[in-house]
């Protein structure tokens, strides 16, 4: 069934119009606790435990005068990562905003790594390693994925003992398809709310047996028997395909946006 779904999705997408699509947009305003280690929160990976990388709340200290941000609390070569599955041939932009919070020198970079199944990650691109100012400045990278695999989007303290604040991290597909699947269905159903954050419901006239959620490259990321409310809080922000199967074996799909 997964291969059939992926094939149908591929055929459908080939007829869609290119559009900009935000895969990840993190302002650290939701789901974080003040003064808490970032590791493992909302999908973030932290490669070193000392010095600390933690979320902070301070009125007006974030980018664009927001109240939340992530802080690298001194020490060189600390690195964090967010992993996203990308589609070969599509072009992506990765960007984040940085600010130095004390008077010492220091450098921050952003990197894109291809996460291969065996061996170390392969670096695709990295930003220049210039100094970071006392006001928020943007660093960005744009590249085209050469394989449909997982990629690591990394933020690294390259040099110096300053504290650094990071905010408004985005991963954008600049030429992705809209991936509407309104015509690939054996029956009608609706998702609400959509976009959704923690849970959703399905509305249909048919009794349902189970639901599956797929990434845009066809990887199944959730599968469960149908219940009145479907929990999706464990999924990373992005666009997915939700496939519903009725009790009599009919299948339908809809685009799902996870906030």
Residue 35 has pLDDT above 90, yes or no: yes
- Domain end position, chosen among 177, 205, 226: 177
- CA atoms of 164 and 55, how far apart (whole Å): 12
Q: CA 38, 40, 46: angle at the middle one, nearest 5?
A: 60
Q: What is the CATH number of the domain that holds 221?
A: 2.60.40.3080
**pLDDT for res 89:** 86
pLDDT of 232:
93
Q: Is the pLDDT of residue 162 over 70?
A: yes
Residue pLDDT, tens place only, 47-102: 887 778 999 999 999 999 999 999 998 666 789 999 988 888 889 999 999 998 87
Q: Do 24 and 132 have their domain in common?
A: yes
Q: Is the pLDDT of residue 15 over 50?
A: no
* Residue whose tokens read 């599955």: 85
The first and second tokens of residue 206, run together, are 């048919």
Q: What is the pLDDT of residue 14?
A: 40
CATH number at residue 150: 2.60.120.260
Whether residues 99 and 157 fall in one domain? yes
Is the per-residue pLDDT at 227 higher than 60?
Answer: yes
The CA distance from 112 to 143, in Å, is: 9
Average pLDDT of every residue of the chain: 83
Q: Are residues 212 and 93 in the same domain?
A: no
| Residues 196 and 213 placed together within one structural domain of the fold | yes
3-state secondary structure at position 72: strand
Residues 190 and 151 in one domain: no
| Domain co-membership, 205 together with 222 | yes
Residue 17 reports pLDDT greater than 50: no
Which of residues 133, 162, 177 is at a domain's end?
177
Q: Does 164 share its domain with 206?
A: no
Amino acid 168: pLDDT: 96
Residues 52, 135 within the same domain: yes
Q: Are residues 3 and 53 in the same domain?
A: no
Domain hosting 195: range is: 1-17+178-259
What is the domain count for the chain?
A: 2
Predicted local distance difference test score (pLDDT) of residue 7? 44
User: Which of 177, 201, 233 is the last residue before a domain boundary?
Assistant: 177
* E strand intervals along 32-149: 36-37, 45-46, 53-57, 68-73, 79-85, 91-100, 106-114, 122-126, 137-144
Residues 132 and 248 in one domain: no
Q: What is d(CA 189, CA 96) in angstroms, rounded to the nearest whole number?
A: 37
Could you tell me which residues come within 8 angstroms of residue 224 by beta carbon, excluding any fewer than 6 positions away?
Answer: 210, 211, 230
Distance CA 97, CA 63 (A): 7
The total number of residues shown for the chain amounts to 259
Instruction: Choose between 13 and 249: higher pLDDT.
Output: 249
Residues 213, 235 contacting (CB under 8 angstroms): yes
Is pLDDT of 21 > 90? no
| Integer angstrom CA distances of residue 83 from 150, 153, 253 | 6, 6, 25
Within this chain, do residues 3 and 77 fall inside the same structural domain, yes or no?
no
Q: Which residue has the higher pLDDT, 28 or 16?
A: 28
222 with 115, same domain? no
């Amino acid at each position: 069934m997964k291969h059939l779904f992926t094939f149908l999705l591929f055929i459908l997408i080939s007829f869609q119009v290119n559009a900009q699509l935000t895969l990840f947009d993190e302002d650290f305003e939701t789901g974080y606790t003040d003064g808490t280690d970032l590791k493992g929160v909302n999908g973030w990976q932290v490669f070193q435990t000392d010095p600390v990388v933690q979320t902070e709340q301070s009125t007006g200290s974030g980018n664009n005068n927001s109240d939340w941000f992530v802080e690298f609390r001194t020490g060189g070569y600390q690195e964090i990562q967010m992993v996203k599955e990308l589609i070969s041939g599509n072009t992506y932009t990765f960007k984040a905003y940085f600010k130095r919070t004390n008077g010492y020198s220091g450098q921050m970079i952003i990197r894109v790594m291809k996460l291969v199944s065996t061996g170390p990650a392969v670096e695709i691109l990295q930003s220049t390693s210039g100094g970071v100012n006392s006001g928020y400045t943007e660093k960005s990278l744009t590249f085209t994925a050469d394989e449909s695999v997982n990629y690591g989007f990394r933020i690294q303290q390259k040099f110096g003992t300053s504290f650094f604040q990071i905010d408004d991290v985005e991963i954008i597909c600049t030429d992705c398809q809209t991936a509407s699947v309104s015509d690939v269905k054996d029956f009608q159903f609706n998702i609400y709310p959509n976009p959704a954050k923690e849970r959703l419901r399905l509305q249909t006239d048919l009794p349902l047996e189970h639901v599956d959620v797929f990434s845009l490259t066809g990887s199944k990321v959730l599968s469960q028997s149908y219940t009145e409310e479907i929990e999706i809080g464990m999924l990373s922000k992005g666009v997915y395909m939700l496939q519903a199967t009725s009790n009599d074996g009919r299948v339908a799909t809809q685009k799902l946006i996870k906030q």
